[in-house]
Copies of this chain bind each other. A is one copy, B any other.
Amino acid sequence: MFLSKLIKVEQALKTMGENLKITDTEVIPLEDAYKRVLAADIISQLDSPPFSRAAMDGYAVKAQDTFNSSPNNPTHLTVVDEIGAGKISHAVVKEGHAVKIATGAPLPHGADAVIMNEYVHEEGYELQVESSLTPGENVSFQGEDIKKGKLIIKRGKLLQPQDLAIIASGGYNEVNVYRKPRIAVLVTGSELVMPSPNIKGAEVVNSNHYTLKGMVESSLAVPTLNHVEDNAKKVKNEIEKLLITHDAIITTGGTAISKGDVVVEVVEQLGEVLFHGVSMRPGKPFAFGMVNGSPVFMLSGYPVAAMVQYDIMVRKNIEKMQNIHKPPCTVKKTAARKIPSTLGRTDYVRARTDGDEVVPLNIKGSTIIRSMVDSNCYIVIEENLEGVLEGEKCDVLLYDILRV
């Protein structure tokens, strides 16, 4: 039977988490860093804005010159220069002076506010100001967004487009990130063939090849795809070879107790199987081992079981290897009908949700790929529950949020 007693989902996740190593880091161009994980704090090398600048098109002035201005009592100033974006003026704004200025241009010395075009009349060099300004009005001050020497973004952040902008504004065009884990997918099964319209006899299409490539990609890691027959020596050679060039291996098949199910035994020979069998459904025959310091995640051969095992048992670990720590992402939805479950086992029921309601699919068995395609979430029924009643709120994991 199983090599160890069935363990609980939480215990399985804990055991795996304790055995993982974070990948090493690498420096990459900042423009390639979307969805990479920052491996070092970023301290700004620059102020942003780099200089105090006009936030509007208008005229740079001394605010105090305008304190009593109104349409009935306009102030008259002399325009002494003009500054376009990207240009600098060496003019100094003295009492009674103004400098025409474009949005984004550096505020000239002496000025402390910008009056918008709407509130002035210009005639030749004479400017008539019809409203009063407070000091700082329509000015973006040097360093008000980012200050040189300050922490602007922390190690461990999964970088979003706007994070790249702030790192650039801090003066960096490269960034230090965790290397994407290289994950070997090793599908076992002598009966498996690649898809074609002419499969014969007892051949079965190797669909896990495709599901797992997508799954690993949806964990932001880099998969390679491999296949081996159900032969202990060949499986052993393959695992040893793949471990040289990969950070982890995900196998499918060979975890049950049929004749020819050899994967768990081979891993036990090569290293250590930390557990075999988890009290979950589907996906019970999941096993986890360590070989030469690298994790081997052993999934079922059945497509649905393998998918659930990946989502529940493997995904979080591939994320952790990149130092990604996502918050739990279950949401509460209303069950459209009663779902029985067994105490002591966690059930992951393929279901479809739209709005607040979630409908469990009417399909059993690990062979029904259709149920993976028709569902968009799992209803999670924890081990301490005997099921969910119709109309009851239940925990739902949306595929779209789990996967990226």
Contact = CB atoms under 8 A, between A and B. Distances in A.
A50 B193 CA distance: 12
A165 interface: yes
Contact of A367 (B140, B214, B225, B303): B140
A335 to B, nearest CB: 20
A311 to B, nearest CB: 10
Contact of A51 (B169, B202, B207): B202
Q: Oligomeric state, in number of copies?
A: 2
Interface in A122-167: 140, 144-146, 152-153, 159-167
A85 B368 contact: no
Contact of A404 (B145, B203, B258, B404): B404
A87 B203 CA distance: 8
A237 interface: no
B260 A85 contact: yes
A32 to B, nearest CB: 8
Interface stretch (A68-76, A170-178, A264-272, A336-344): A170-178
A289 interface: no
Interface stretch (A2-10, A242-250, A369-377, A387-395): A369-377
A167 B213 CA distance: 14
A78 interface: no
Contacts of A171: 195-197, 199, 205
Contact of A169 (B55, B106, B195): B195
Contacts of A85: 189-191, 202, 230, 258, 260
In order of increasing CB-CB distance, the 4 nearest A-B pairs are A86-B191, A161-B214, A164-B210, A162-B372
